[in-house]
Structure 1
């Protein structure tokens, strides 16, 4: 269906390239996109457009260019996309877009992507009448192996009620967005992935971030997820998770490294050293917070050894880090990291510490700079009195520093005691799912 574009609507220019890169120009500001496939880039571009449409509260006129050509679209705040038949006058042809930076440059950063419906291909298919049209049999025959599948019926809200009584109702835009995030965290990638949750200030939310991200990936992607407390100074991961039938820590595992890297070791043997979370289905490798740091010092070589074992037996490793960014243990963790997550609250000192950390990593070496550019920032409302405006302020401040920013509302279930994803409010669980999807998009 085509629709006319009203003169007062904002005009957005979007470009997607065959290598998975692209950009969105909103209000003259370019937002770069760096993905691995054209389809992923299109979805990421449309996330930016839908976010902008929701922010201005009205449809947005989009000139979208891709490998197959250019199309004029109207994107609505709820994620609906329609073909446009008329647009307001475009900018003069001789007005160039700002030059886009090289994605390999340390200066490149990308704004946050907000969870939104997975949009179908907004770019037009190759027009009919090509130079080599298919023969009649090729054009008419449909493969027996191709099976198109629409959306499953709605599960939530009134739509879900109707579906349960036999009326097939498609999911809402919000539910489609949730399903897209579930699909993102449910993937299995070739080879293990390591995620480090960092901030140089204590109390910034590193441990809740480690626990709840581990829970999200285990809940939707299955087993093979471990959380590791890589902390010299009283790491609290063990205090906020379920204890197994023993009190073993990583210090008990270290003398057994050669065994677990050898050919006779079995995954079940690790049960003597890790603590399984019976509700949230992931494992925890604890530190020993009851002992002074100088009595349990961990070296860079120890970090290498532990990571080698966990990489052998787990597909996803989430690391809860300490506060000393100069510690060789902390720096070696960064060398093993595939995805960086900065945890912060709305407190100014937490937010500033996280920003300074990203800037320091950007100057450390090329690989650390790449981690910083691709970081995900989690802004938690740890203080129930913090306002939405304060959350938005911190999120905006990280737009130029990280790939994505996700905000998490206040939840009393995150304040003290043992953490469990299923014990949190539905809105909080949804926010952590969005955070997991943001992490998954970096793998």
Structure 2
């Protein structure tokens, strides 16, 4: 098969567990799949791997599977065509059987002659009993012949294997609607996988920081799109927070609520909002709900006469409040990596996202941002290594709308994306879309190709949670 293990995703997590009591299960992303019972250990292994092959076919790509059986444990790469390739395997040490106790040969028993007989008694010997080890072997064989009784806890009559739904898009979807059941294409399967990824719920809140030290790098549109997609598909309470040290633009690109409150008002009310007696709906007094895209926005201070800069301690307070009311916090940021609120944001971050428009100075600023974090070591460096870079095609080149300009824009975006790829966890390219240039940003206003690209970007982000 010649698969490169580095090219095979570790998501979803798949385990194949074969037990010496004749049962087995395949666990996919925490959900158990039934495995048909079998008479031999080898047949049971094959039944378990058949379930894994079915999962690979559902995803339309190779998968990783952790295997564990009575003889050893390791990792396999399994392809949709059923071929398998070993990554690692460690045999378990065989269990030593206890040696039978040493036995002393029996002494022949002498049978005395009847009393009164003058003849010399003739000694007679009885047949010695079979050795104890032979008796133990016979008993063990008899036990092995008895049918094994399994626990009712190890079985279920419920079918938990995933069902491949028919195609809904393209000509395959058209034929399905006409009554001819068609399997989805590879592109549709890829889209379904991205939807499943962004639809997951993770234990505990997650914080995403969107950073680039250069203005005009697409930070705010990135925050809006990630928030919209994660909120729409996962249904998790999601807030987009403008963590600019003074005044940001997130509030200008999103829907305004019936009030003018900002992060400073939320910080002032933090004691009340953190009180156990406060109702969860009280947070609506401080955030601006996006009615179509289903997430909330916490604006930066927009008071023209104000000169307050958010401090590190205030970031801690706001983050504590938001993670009480929301599962996902997507943070916009300013352009100063040395600012106290910027650095404290990084301390709270689980996943770093670096947006960049396909223009040299924006790309260089993105590289310097990652370099700064990497040089700080520890948590900052780990975020940089696992960052997701989102490269958007330049709007300037698109304005001419000539074929040559379009090609140059795509080539430049590809060149910049390829340049970042060796240094981060994922790179996603976004096509130009006029709906992202000016005014409020709405997911439904985007072109289908742009929606699909942003879904892939959100999936890349979510897979790092």
Task: Say yes or no: TM over 0.5.
Answer: yes
SS at match of 2:81: strand
TM alignment of 1:56-95, pairs within 5 A: 67=67, 81-82=80-81
Q: Look up the match of 1:14.
A: 4
Q: Which has the larger radius of gyration?
A: 2
Residue number among 171, 181, 205 corresponding to 2:194 in the alignment: 181
Query: 8 Å contact 2:14–2:65 — kept in the other structure?
Result: no
Q: Look up the match of 1:312.
A: 324
Q: Deviations over 1:222-256 (max 9, x none)?
A: 14000000002430000000001111111221210
Whole-Å separation in 1 of the counterparts to 2:327 and 2:388: 20
Deviation at 1:296, TM superposition (A): 2.1
Residue number among 387, 392, 398 corresponding to 1:380 in the alignment: 392
Moved more, 159-168 or 258-267: 159-168
Residue number among 417, 421, 424 corresponding to 1:402 in the alignment: 424
Deviation at 1:37, TM superposition (A): 3.8
Q: Look up the match of 1:154.
A: 167
Deviation at 1:158, TM superposition (A): 1.5
Query: 8 Å contact 1:195–1:338 — kept in the other structure?
Result: yes
In structure 2, the CA distance between the partners of 1:12 and 1:229, relative to structure 1 (3 Å rule), is same
Whole-Å separation in 2 of the counterparts to 1:358 and 1:315: 26
Deviation at 1:148, TM superposition (A): 2.6
Unmatched 5+ stretches in structure 1: 1-10, 16-22, 25-31, 52-61, 76-80, 85-120
SS at match of 2:414: helix
In structure 2, the CA distance between the partners of 1:434 and 1:234, relative to structure 1 (3 Å rule), is same
Deviation at 1:399, TM superposition (A): 1.3
SS at match of 1:387: helix
Matched, 1:299 2:311: yes
Q: Look up the match of 1:422.
A: 444
TM alignment of 1:163-174, pairs within 5 A: 163-174=176-187
Q: Deviations over 1:16-72 (max 9, x none)?
A: xxxxxxx35xxxxxxx977794579999xx9xxx99xxxxxxxxxx9x997577989
TM alignment of 1:35-54, pairs within 5 A: 37=13
Deviation at 1:177, TM superposition (A): 0.6
Q: Look up the match of 1:278.
A: 291
TM-score scaled to structure 1, two decimals? 0.72
In structure 2, the CA distance between the partners of 1:137 and 1:343, relative to structure 1 (3 Å rule), is same
Query: 8 Å contact 1:373–1:402 — kept in the other structure?
Result: yes
Q: Deviations over 1:167-188 (max 9, x none)?
A: 2211111111101000101111
Matched, 1:247 2:257: no
Q: Look up the match of 1:354.
A: 366
Query: 8 Å contact 2:246–2:307 — kept in the other structure?
Result: no
Q: Deviations over 1:388-434 (max 9, x none)?
A: 22111111111122100001000010000000111100010001100
Whole-Å separation in 2 of the counterparts to 1:284 and 1:173: 36
Matched, 1:203 2:216: yes
Count of paired positions:
355
What RMSD in Å do the two structures reach over aligned CA positions? 3.4
The structure with higher relative contact order (CA 8 Å, sep 6+) is 1
Query: 8 Å contact 1:208–1:414 — kept in the other structure?
Result: yes
Whole-Å separation in 1 of the counterparts to 2:418 and 2:302: 35
SS at match of 1:265: coil
Whole-Å separation in 1 of the counterparts to 2:198 and 2:319: 22
In structure 2, the CA distance between the partners of 1:420 and 1:70, relative to structure 1 (3 Å rule), is closer
Deviation at 1:272, TM superposition (A): 1.2
| 4+ residue runs over 6 A deviation | 32-36, 39-43, 68-73, 121-124, 131-138
Q: Deviations over 1:284-312 (max 9, x none)?
A: 000124536x7121111100000000000
TM-score scaled to structure 2, two decimals? 0.69
Unmatched 5+ stretches in structure 2: 16-27, 30-51, 68-72, 96-143, 399-404
Q: Look up the match of 1:341.
A: 353
Query: 8 Å contact 1:198–1:340 — kept in the other structure?
Result: yes
In structure 2, the CA distance between the partners of 1:72 and 1:176, relative to structure 1 (3 Å rule), is closer
Whole-Å separation in 2 of the counterparts to 1:362 and 1:222: 34
